[in-house]
Amino acid sequence: MTILIRNGLVVGPTGTQVTDLLIRDGVIAEVGTGLSAAGAEVIDATGCWVGPAFVDIHTHLREPGREAAETIESGANAGVLGGYGALVAMPNTEPALDNVALVSYVLAQGAKTRLDVAVAGAITVGRHGTALAPIAEMAALGVRLFTDDGTGVQNPALMRRALEYTAPLGVRLAQHCEDEALAGGGSMNEGAVSARLGLIGRPALAEELMVMRDIELLRLTGGRLHFLHLSTARSLALVNEARAQGLDVTSEIAPHHFTLSEEACEGFDSLFKVHPPLRTSSDVLALRGALLDGTVDAVATDHAPHTPELKDLPFDEAPAGMLNLEHAASLTFDVLRDNPVGFFNVLSRGPARIAQLRREDHRVGLSAHGGALSVGEDANIVIFNPNETWRVDKHQLASRATNTPYHGRELHGRVRSTIVRGSLVVNEGELQ
Amino acid sequence: MSLRGQNLLTLNGVSASTIVEVLDTAESFVEVNQRTIKKVPALKGRVVASLFFEESTRTRLSFETAAKRLGADVVSLAVASSSVKKGESLRDTIATIDALGLDAVVLRHKSSGAAVQVSRFVPDVRVINAGDGLHQHPTQGLLDVFTVREILAERQGALGSETGAELFKGLKVLIVGDIRHSRVARSDIAAYSALGAEVRVAAPGTLLPNDLTGWPVTVVTDFDEALAWADVVGLLRLQHERGTGAFVPSLSEFTFTYGLTAERMASMDPRTIVLHPGPMNRGVEIDSLVADRENAYMTRQVANGVPVRMAVLYLSVAGTKELE
């Protein structure tokens, strides 16, 4: 397949230029103005942003175990519609992705989809937080991120051991920071709103204490640590400080945490229930500020499909989490509409670096992501139209689930086309 | 704003005039409850479902009695187990009941917000919150202010309805105990403050909500001083059976610090009104001797529950447009 993208604003790692991109045989064949190619599918990208396809390092694909909510295939379709060329499947499936057989299954199913599916393995067996999972065996299959996302490794001695064990393996641990002793039993942010609603809170401190703890553990052990879905101003400040001190820490924030605040829970609608919870409006502003000043490495979706019958449970009983793959880019654009370089940094280049999916990383079975859009790179590209306005409709999503908190909301900027490994998998907002 | 044709989900944000309308309506129903034939046909032919997903004796009996005295047919479902254990979502349970043809749902649930959610599932049915988790218990709040108004009006030889909200202006109300886990406290505070009372709260630090921003209350630290200050003392049940963790070292320590003991009662103004929503933990938040004394108005609260709930059902259900 040959694709010619004309006149787009091509967004590199440091700057932009209006030019053409020619894609042939799965790679970027030519970059320059006035390109032409016989028989090529031509896309006029005038007014659009052209950049590396997005990389989500935090996707819950639910397979195996909860296919009624999402499958690897439906999640991948949601992903490419959202502009993603690669997803990292989180291990909180049933059973958890804590061994070679399960990781192989997800990789094999992922290889049949329209995009690249990488896997994050569990740190501990069954994500139970008691014994280390076979991390080196999973790493041999190409797994580069390990996490007990959902609860996080609560026991500091075990977390220390995990950091010590993984430091020489070249992989990165990713932590869900919430101290369950403080947050357990809570269903929204602890504060004035939770007190009024009579909902047990999950305090910001539960997250921040674990961020502090893990930074100090990392200082002791060395190695690499990624902080999942940071949600408070203080958490971001702690990670910035650790980075400045030379620790290998990376961080992500999720779209709901920089677009919604705790007041959204006032209607007791569990679509707004998520862990860590939606925080205060000043935290929302701090997260938006971090996107603007580039101090956060990645926007990650924490795409968490749940069936309607579970989301219809009372707020305290309903599972936490919300959909995001299909609108994360638009929500990010809401903050970075004047900064295309920053936009692709947090949606593609930063996450590709964290997940070791770049050209220079030792990938196994996956193409290269988050590149500079130079000749010879694998053609994983998204065309994003900053001028399109659209309305989220939960019934029109590719995801099997409908639990988006943005249903009916008008968003600006939309993914127009997604190219994965040189194939046009989404064009004009439609699956190909 | 009036309760006519509306759901009753919370007392937060409910105005004094809305509350007074309920109290005045309830007063007119007190007389009905004193007749030999204790029935009016106001809700004849209407169906009220009483859905108690959490154990309750007095509130359920009170609501069902109220509905029957208004002539409504009552469909009663008591489900002690959670919807999760039943394997059925709240939405499905409500849809099943709704298929019977309902005018109103009286809902008690252990989860905060359950009544709000149900009101979204059945938009054409009036939903009356009979207590949802730690959130709200609006009819308890209403019957508490009804009881206080009735007592204060009696002392002046007047009917409550002749006084509107006047008797609450500057009234000193002290709410004591497990404010954090109490839906009664949340409804009481909203009702008293809407009517113009000054509300203070007294509790161990662990039983206060962890953020009182926006609450129209002052926290008192000297319980004995506050008892002397108060015109009304509202005690709360210590929810030690809820398993919310060890919030106080022991029940006896709670009694020592915030229990209404006989000694404390002895030093209070005998005209101070003492209320408790029940069921009481005798010997914990209230001494048995105190509970039995005549100026404790708990049995009056229970008796007033019926006319107040009749008023709520009447306004909410009969107040719908089709009947007007």
Instruction: List CB contacts of A6: < 8 A, sequence separation 6 or more.
Output: A20, A35, A42, A43, A44, A45, A46
User: How far is A121 from chain B, CA to nearest CA, in Å?
Assistant: 30
**CA–centroid distance for A248 within its chain:** 19
Give the count of beta carbons closer than 10 Å to the beta carbon of residue B41.
9
Would the CB atoms of B214 and A198 count as touching at under 8 Å? Answer: no
CB B174 within 8 A of CB B227: yes
**Which DSSP symbol is given to A122?**
P
Q: Does A207 contact chain B (CB < 8 Å)?
A: no
Mutation target vs A (from B108, B116, B178; most A CBs, 10 A cutoff)? B116
Domain boundary pick from A354, A385, A400: A354
A314 and A386 inside one domain:
no
Q: Could you give the percent of chain A with pLDDT greater than 70? A: 100
**Which DSSP symbol is given to A315?**
T
Domain count of the fold of chain A = 2
pLDDT, position A387 = 98
If one compares B79 and A275, the residue with the highest pLDDT of the two is A275
pLDDT in tens, B224-253: 999 999 999 999 998 776 554 589 988 999
Q: What are the chain B neighbours of A201 within 8 Å (beta carbons)?
A: 210
**CA–centroid distance for A346 within its chain:** 10
CA A189-A190-A196 angle, 5° bins: 105
Would the CB atoms of B214 and A196 count as touching at under 8 Å? Answer: yes
Predicted TM-score (pTM) of the model is: 0.95
User: How far is A187 from chain B, CA to nearest CA, in Å?
Assistant: 11
| Residue A112 falls inside a structural domain | yes
Q: At residue A310, does pLDDT exceed 80?
A: yes
Q: What are the chain B neighbours of A267 within 8 Å (beta carbons)?
A: 116
User: How far is A41 from chain B, CA to nearest CA, in Å?
Assistant: 49
CATH topology of domain B16-136+305-319: Rossmann fold (3.40.50)
Top-level CATH class of B138-302?
alpha beta
pLDDT in tens, A393-422: 999 999 999 999 999 999 999 999 999 999
Q: What are the chain B neighbours of A309 within 8 Å (beta carbons)?
A: 89, 91-92
A214 and A119 inside one domain:
yes
pLDDT, position A28 = 98
Would the CB atoms of A313 and B83 count as touching at under 8 Å? Answer: yes
Average pLDDT score, chain A: 97
**Which DSSP symbol is given to B278?**
S
A20 and A66 inside one domain:
no
- Identify the domain containing residue A186 by its residue range: 53-354
pLDDT in tens, A16-31: 999 999 999 999 999 9
Q: Where are the alpha helices (DSSP H) in chain B?
A: 16-32, 58-69, 83-86, 90-98, 114-121, 138-155, 183-194, 223-229, 251-258, 262-266, 288-292, 298-313
User: How far is A327 from chain B, CA to nearest CA, in Å?
Assistant: 26
What mean pLDDT is predicted for residues B266-289?
92
**Which DSSP symbol is given to B282?**
B
Residue of B nearest to A308 (CA): B89
Give A275's Cβ-side CA count (13 Å radius). Answer: 23
Q: At residue B160, does pLDDT exceed 50?
A: yes
pLDDT, position B36 = 87
pLDDT, position B302 = 92
Closest CA to A88 of A115, A65, A56, A52: A56
A30 and A59 inside one domain:
no
Would the CB atoms of A313 and B89 count as touching at under 8 Å? Answer: yes
Residue of A nearest to B244 (CA): A185
Residue B233 DSSP SS3: strand
Q: What are the chain A neighbours of B90 within 8 Å (beta carbons)?
A: 312-314
| Residue A7 falls inside a structural domain | yes
Instruction: List CB contacts of B278: < 8 A, sequence separation 6 or more.
Output: B58, B237, B298, B301, B302
Which domain CATH number covers A396?
2.30.40.10
Known catalytic membership, residue A302:
yes
| Residue A337 falls inside a structural domain | yes
User: How far is B227 from chain A, CA to nearest CA, in Å?
Assistant: 25
Q: What are the chain A neighbours of B214 within 8 Å (beta carbons)?
A: 192, 196
Would the CB atoms of A191 and B211 count as touching at under 8 Å? Answer: yes
pLDDT, position B324 = 37
pLDDT in tens, A104-153: 999 999 999 999 999 999 999 999 999 999 999 999 999 999 999 999 99
A36 and A128 inside one domain:
no
Q: Where in chain B is the domain with CATH 3.40.50.1370?
A: 16-136+305-319, 138-302
Mutation target vs A (from B82, B85, B89, B219; most A CBs, 10 A cutoff)? B89
Domain boundary pick from A322, A354, A386: A354
pLDDT in tens, A90-104: 999 999 999 999 999
Q: Does A194 contact chain B (CB < 8 Å)?
A: yes
Residue of B nearest to A314 (CA): B114
Q: What is the ipTM of this complex?
A: 0.93
Helical (H) or strand (E) element with A298 = strand A298-299
Q: Does A71 contact chain B (CB < 8 Å)?
A: no
Which domain CATH number covers A249?
3.20.20.140
A22 and A146 inside one domain:
no
| Residue A391 falls inside a structural domain | yes
Q: At residue B83, does pLDDT exceed 90?
A: no
Q: Could you give the percent of chain B with pLDDT greater than 70? A: 93
Q: How far is CA B145 from CA A61, A156, B195, B277, in A?
A: 52, 52, 9, 12
Cα–Cα distance, A326 to A395 (Å, whole number): 12
